[in-house]
Structures are given as structure tokens and as C-alpha cells.
Structure 1
Amino acid sequence: MTAGAPDPRSQARRSALQMLYGWELGRVDLADAIDGYRLLQLEPPDEKRDHLARALVRGTVAALDRLDALIAEAVHNWRIERLSIIDRLILRLAVYELVARPEAPAPVVIDEALDLARAFSTEDAVKFINGVLDAIRQRLESKSDE
């Protein structure tokens, strides 16, 4: 990878978020959301990046109930439905990685989620997402220590 070239895993997370957004907003079948994103994709195909993005999307959607429960525990006095769509999707994607992809270090997952929030949401959302993800990370780590 050349200096300054975007990390393929970062690109995969960004692509996954955009696929999830199309799925959530369009209320279409997940496969249609993935295919629709590929048709509109500006970057040249990269099989490793695209495979990871699809895996993140499928895993996130398959685990929605568990992810939403973890997020709901961490957002005090908020219903998850009240979060903006993009913030909710960033949280779901990151929590999926924290839960299901132990090879991805938690600090990296959280930093990547904050980068997505900076790119697609507000500065207040960045702080909020950081707090929620840190609380979930701590809860998951304390459960694994038991």
C-alpha cells in the first residue's frame, strides 16, 4: 500500500455503512441493497475490500436484535429509534465488529466508527457514538473476564 492510500478495511467499513444506509432507507432486500451499491460504486472493484464490506453488512443485519439490545443498554434515556439513521447504523456496524470480529482490535473499531461519524454525521454525534461504544466495549470486556 502506498503512503496516503486509504486502508482497505477502512474503505470496506465505509462501503458497508453506505450499503446499510441504502438497505435501511430504501426498505429493500439486503441483496438488492448490496447490488445497488455495487452498481453505483465509484471506486474500482477490490475483491478483498468488497468481500469484507458484504460480510460486515450481512453480519450486522443478521445480528440486529442483539446489537440493538446492546446499544439500548448503553444509551440511557434514549430509544434507539430516536437516533438518526446514520448514527444508528454506525453504532450497529461497530458493535457488530466488537461482538463478532475479535480479530479487529476494539480501539481500531471505535476509531473507525468515529471517522465514519465525522464523515457522515455531526461533531455531537461523534462524541455520543464514542461514549456509547466505549460503554459497550467495557461491558463486553467485563463479561469476557468473568
Structure 2
Amino acid sequence: MTQAMNNDLSELARLVPIPTGRHKARELTLQALYQSDITGEDVQYAVEQLCEENHGGHVDLDYFQKIASGTWKRIEELDQMISRVADNWSVQRIATIDRNVLRQAVFELLTEPGLDVGVIINEAVILSKRYGDKKSGAFVNGVLDRLAREIRTRVDSPSR
């Protein structure tokens, strides 16, 4: 392979990132939350099913189980937080994809203080653009930007 071809492949790899195990975990979380939101079944059923289907793949299954189950357990709290900053939108009026992308991202903001806010928001925007409608990315970005400032200020400041 020539040096020029190596450079081209390196540039292509930089422009088209390979999904990480955590990205795939977030994608599976969206699937599980969406399924549970639509069917009304407990998310654990969807989690078990998706773990079986993706066992041995390039998915961080532990992280998937953690964020899917944790999001579902705190869904009422997360919905209240989202509705507070989503101007003129009740959580039930938000498109199902967007609602569940927001839920899991807010859960990560609350429970993963070591993760960069930009990574969490960017991952959520990617999922909303891929599975939502053409306005989903901007909507999700706006809601998460507001919540991230509030959450990280609260999480990062020491209690007195």
C-alpha cells in the first residue's frame, strides 16, 4: 500500500468514526426505552432481549444495562426535569424518540460526572438525528444544553 493510500485511509477513519462500545450501548438503550415506552412493558424485558441478541458484539453491555435500567427507574424525575426546560412542551408531547434520547442523556448527566458534558450531548444529538426527524437534533441539543448547565453546576458544587 502506498503512503498516499495510507494517508487517505487515515483521513477517512478520522472523518467516519467507528462506533464505540458505549455508543452502541446508548443506541441499545434507546431501543429498549423506546420499546418499553410504546408497549408499556418493563424495560428489563427489552434489556434482556437486546443483551442476548448483542452478546459477543462490540457493545459495552454492562454500561447498556446500567443506563437503560437506571433511566427507567428514575423516569418520573427525568421527565420532570425535561418538561421544566422544554418550553411549551409536556414530555408526552415530545416525539417518542426524542423523549427517550433526552431521558437517557439526562440520566448520564446526573450519574456520570466523570463523563464530559459535550460527549453526552453529542451522542444524544447523533442518536436523535439518526432516528428522529429533521428538527430532532436541534431540539435535543437545546434541552440538554440547558439541563447540563443546571445539573453539572449542582453535581460539581460541594454541599455545604
Same fold (TM over 0.5): yes
Q: How far apart are residue 44 of structure 1 and its match?
A: 5.2
Question: What is the CA–CA distance in structure 2 between the aligned matches of 1:101 and 1:112, rounded to whole Å?
Answer: 14
Match of 1:53 in 2: 64
Match of 2:30 in 1: 17
Match of 1:90 in 2: 101
- Structure 1: runs of 5 or more not aligned: none
Match of 2:10 in 1: none
**1:36-76 C-alpha deviation (Å, 9 max, x unpaired):** 3245x3x5524861111111101101111211111011111
Q: Does 1:102 align with 2:108?
A: no
Match of 1:37 in 2: 50
The amino acid across from 1:130 in the alignment is N
- Structure 2: runs of 5 or more not aligned: 1-12
Question: What is the CA–CA distance in structure 2 between the aligned matches of 1:5 and 1:111, rounded to whole Å?
Answer: 15
What is the number of equivalent residue pairs in this alignment? 142
Q: How far apart are residue 9 of structure 1 and its match?
A: 0.8
Of residues 33, 37, 41, the one that matches 1:28 is 41
Instruction: Pick closer, same or farther for the CA change 1:46–1:52 going to 2, 3 Å.
Output: farther
Regions of 4+ moved over 2 Å = 35-39, 43-48, 141-146
Instruction: Pick closer, same or farther for the CA change 1:30–1:44 going to 2, 3 Å.
Output: closer
The amino acid across from 1:9 in the alignment is R
TM-score by length of 1: 0.87
The percentage of counterpart residues that share the same residue type is 28
Question: What is the CA–CA distance in structure 1 between the aligned matches of 2:75 and 2:41, rounded to whole Å?
Answer: 16
